[in-house]
Amino acid sequence: MKFPAYLILSLLGLPTAGYAASGGTLPGVACHVSYGGETRIVRAAASRDPYTVPAVAIGSYFLFRVVFEHPARRLPGIKLYTYADRDEGAVPIHIAHFPHPSHTSARGTCFGFTGEQFVFEPVRDGELHYWCELERGAPTRAARR
């Protein structure tokens, strides 16, 4: 007997809320990133290969990367990386890891599943703020709005 993937994952205790109800479409991650008076939304879909997820330039100093590990992985989660974009290459200055939140637990909160996060710029004395939430209907690749 063959079982649907979402049923097998839910029996294993892996979070799949919203997966079955949306017809198999995984939710995406939307991060609200503010820097220098500008707020943008950086979106990411679930990825089976986290090493291919690109970073997005925020201003002239930061790079921001959202890695949404596919729930079919053994330990799914969401990893957020902030890098300083220096002449000698990108340097990680903030890394956050969150277990995969259920679609319902992330709703109705002021600052999504991450809470409001602050990353301070060590050279120019600025700061980047971000918070992330799950949203229905994952995009096909990381995108900006």
pLDDT tens profile 116-139: 999 998 777 789 999 999 887 544
Tell me the mean pLDDT in the region 63-71.
90
Residue 104's Cβ-count burial label (10 Å; 0-12, 13-18, 19+) is exposed
103 pLDDT more than 60: no
CA–CA distance, 5 with 81 (Å, rounded to integer): 29
pLDDT > 60? residue 21: no
Q: What is the pLDDT of residue 24?
A: 52
Per-residue pLDDT at 19: 41
